[in-house]
Amino acid sequence: ISPSFRARATWSILRQAFPGLLCTETEPRIRNLDWGNITAENRATIEAERYAAGVLNYAFPGGDNTPDYAKAIDNFVQEMLYERKSVDFPECVVVLAHGFALRLVARSTLQIGDEDFRLLANPANCFFAELRYDVGLDTFALLTPLPVIKLAS
């Protein structure tokens, strides 16, 4: 669970759907992306700079350096994928994160390339993406399509 108030509040409602839950952990690496010194006045400029640089490459003034943020989430996913091989790893893992973090978790788990990642849209609030692991193929499959942006014709 992301450490943000909104994610923890959402989890307090959702946890009723998981009666056999063994444990929950707060994971700071899947926190919301810090946009730093953004204001109503400079938001359009920062967004334009971010998209010009690429959302995976932008360093927010006074906030997160997106490559470092993405690497931290990738490390989280890689640790979880490694730990899944242990005998006591749970059959089901729920990751409760924010839109951009969720997209990065999917990117890392499904090995989505940067070109395809740029086409993913931020999911709506309370969006659920279900991934299933295929033991025989040693791969993950996305059972819930992620939202994509609509490109101008």
Q: Look at residue 140 and tell me whether its pLDDT is greater than 70.
A: yes
* pLDDT attached to residue 100: 94
**Could you tell me if 97 and 89 are in contact, meaning their C-beta atoms sit under 8 angstroms apart?**
no
Q: Look at residue 16 and tell me whether its pLDDT is greater than 70.
A: yes
pTM over 0.85: yes
* pLDDT attached to residue 134: 83
Nearest to 39 by CA among 61, 6, 59: 61
Between CA 108 and CA 86 the distance in angstroms is 20
Nearest to 100 by CA among 134, 132, 63, 133: 63
Length of the chain as a residue count = 153
Q: Is pLDDT larger for residue 151 or for residue 138?
A: 138
With bands split at pLDDT 50, 70 and 90, how would you rate the model's confidence at 34?
very high
* pLDDT tens digits for range 63-98: 999 999 999 999 999 999 888 888 888 888 889 899
- Mean pLDDT over each residue of the chain, to the nearest integer: 89
Mean pLDDT calculated for residue range 119-128: 88
